[in-house]
Chains A and B, each alone.
Chain A
């Protein structure tokens, strides 16, 4: 537990900055990791943890700052050079080829070769077995990766990282797919590596894991370091305070009293993502679903919208139980859903605004079965004006619009059916501040006109600005409810992380 074994400064990141188009991912970040230390990087979704990990591993170049390894300047190296220098990353998403064997994956790109450069399979499998045994695992090196459980695949990822001489290991959310027992085994492996003098960067937003495993912690918020602590000398409450507290850009607008219950969800389940979710949304009310990524919020919305089949529980609309065979039934029943990823699931980028706005209401614009250009054009014009969509023409391809205007087209598409319940998954992702303010205004306006609105958001200030009530989800369950007017970021994060780390980790 203690950092007693920590030695010399292994990695020094000095004043490092990185921006992507439209976002400052990291600003002036400094970090020192010692040999034989497990150093946690903690922060909310989007705080810049993974970006920093990828910069250290040479995946992204940095815009400014310096990085050194054991006192040697390594600024600007690429992924391959980083590997040769002994920096290994275990990525959040699998980097394994499912159809190849465990051994082939572990030694991808540097398989031991023999006569005429042919891969020496026996030697490769032998070495893979040794590596896996070192990690306390008896996975067969000849097994195909696709036959492994996600925990085993994670172990193989780590073995792959350790197949070269490792000085610095970056683990990016390694426990996201693991059960509690598997997590415990992973922690043993990490402790063993630490005792051999490997420096480990452990990226996570699970507080309990940090207190269980790590020696030091650096907290990031909006791409800046907000604190550097020895784990033994801090508390969960202090870390939560460092993680949250973003500037609230938009004032709350107090709300008229809500109407009757529109949507009632009871003990809803869609395993393995949603375990037990119960809540209500009233007419004229905005309810926000908060929680960590992977807590089952989006999946809950998909079930209510008929895009995912439930495995248990009930959904009631205006007091009547409903079952949806698909989104068409939900739309007919008055439910609309703006999905999280507008490019992948929401919009038809190669088609015009007119066509996108009419996509969910084709019956309306073609009452006799023949598409009326006039009706679709009128519908699109109505929303271009009402939502102030900036475009030269209603015939513009949606892919040519800015992110904010695309989001408004998506909103128009889902207001066109005149829904009674509107589900909005991440209303302002990838949208600039101006468009954000307008989207908030539109959502409040709709609420005031009696729509029942359910918002999923990973942006806490957004949740606190918009919500009349906040429901916190963790591990596929609703774990708490807060009043929007009085809730604080600390309270939300405490609910979301406490549950995420204590029980039922196998849910994912």
Chain B
């Protein structure tokens, strides 16, 4: 044990020496130590660079509002995904859940003639039930999250098509207002996302119930033996994820005034990308809501910058993939230089 401690100490010392001699290395290490800080710096650098190169296109109220509107849906989703990933799980069915929830809200409003608010609640509840099913299968039937949500991704999408065919168009004015109303220059999805993110951030950082997700992801067996109700909490995580996907689906339907069955295709991958960028790992136990949201913002900014630069959509995908790999290699750097 003694030798271990000395080794550790000498490791730290040599790391400190390297750091003093090498300003670049030290800066990189500080950056790598906080994922949130890394992302913030990247976001500021990218914004500053874009503002200098494209002063007429980038730093405009219109462009900023568009970027944030784009980021709103992913921010809502990443809040739930981050929670699941902290516990070591994830949900691939969110895109399908989103479409199903949008259609169900539109069904309640147009076919059943329900008032707006209850229709919206139908959409969110649909999402929560979809999440409950995922969580039940994962925790009680004990099928892993990958297989379970891969299957329900197909099932929920198919169900959506069965219910509505190609979708429900022109839902109605009082419904669409919830997705289109502008307040202080930003459309409503931005404000809803802000609320979700702030509440989620606070809850995961401070409340007992959500702190337990870090224990589960860190060591599920030890968590169980610490009296933490692992299965119950993972189930809760899936229900929250589903409800948030439902909320995002309702907002998307309201914004477009139509619930389309192809809504949210592929969104699970970009949300997981943002979460990993924001510090989540597939092993669990790591990450924060704010990290996930910064990941979403960085991706939205990169996309915006590429569009302004006139870069084609294929290149956008390639560049986002490269950004993800870069972020994860920073983690490797951090691990090998921890001493």
Contacts and interface: CB of A to CB of B under 8 A. Distances in A.
Interface of A: 21-22, 305, 307, 326-328, 330-332, 337, 339, 344-351, 355, 359-360, 362-363, 365-366, 369-371, 400, 402-404, 413, 432, 435
A40 to B, nearest CB: 35
Interface of B: 1-5, 8, 206-209, 211-212, 214-215, 218-219, 221-229, 285-286
Nearest to A346: B222
Nearest to B208: A366
A432 B215 contact: no
B219 A371 contact: no
A370 B206 contact: yes
B226 A359 contact: yes
Nearest to B219: A348
Closest 4 CB pairs of A and B: A402-B1, A366-B208, A328-B227, A348-B218
A374 to B, nearest CB: 13
Given A327-B226, A403-B1, A413-B226, A363 B208 contact: yes
Given A351-B214, A371-B211, A402-B4, A327 B222 contact: no
Nearest to A331: B227
B207 A369 contact: yes
B207 A360 contact: no
Contacts of A363: 208
A370 B208 contact: yes
Given A328-B227, A331-B227, A359-B226, A351 B218 contact: yes
Contact of A366 (B3, B8, B207, B225): B207
A369 B226 contact: no
23 contacts: A326-B224, A326-B227, A327-B224, A327-B225, A328-B227, A332-B227, A344-B219, A344-B221, A344-B222, A345-B221, A346-B222, A346-B225, A347-B219, A350-B286, A351-B214, A359-B222, A359-B226, A360-B226, A369-B208, A371-B207, A402-B2, A402-B5, A432-B2
Contact of B207 (A332, A348, A370): A370
Given A362-B211, A369-B207, A369-B209, A345 B222 contact: yes
B285 A350 contact: yes
A362 B1 contact: no
Contacts of A432: 1-2
A371 B208 CA distance: 5
Contact of A349 (B2, B206, B219): B219
Given A348-B219, A349-B219, A435-B1, A307 B209 contact: no
B225 A337 contact: yes
Contacts of B228: 328, 359, 362
Nearest to A432: B1
A344 B221 CA distance: 7
A196 B172 CA distance: 90
A277 B228 CA distance: 28
B9 to A, nearest CB: 10
Contacts of A349: 218-219
B230 to A, nearest CB: 9
Among B207, B208, B215: residue with most chain A CB under 10 A = B208
A97 B253 CA distance: 51
A35 B297 CA distance: 73
Among B2, B211, B223: residue with most chain A CB under 10 A = B211
A155 B89 CA distance: 39
A435 B223 CA distance: 25
A351 B211 CA distance: 12
Contacts of B219: 344-345, 347-349
Given A348-B219, A366-B207, A371-B211, A339 B1 contact: no
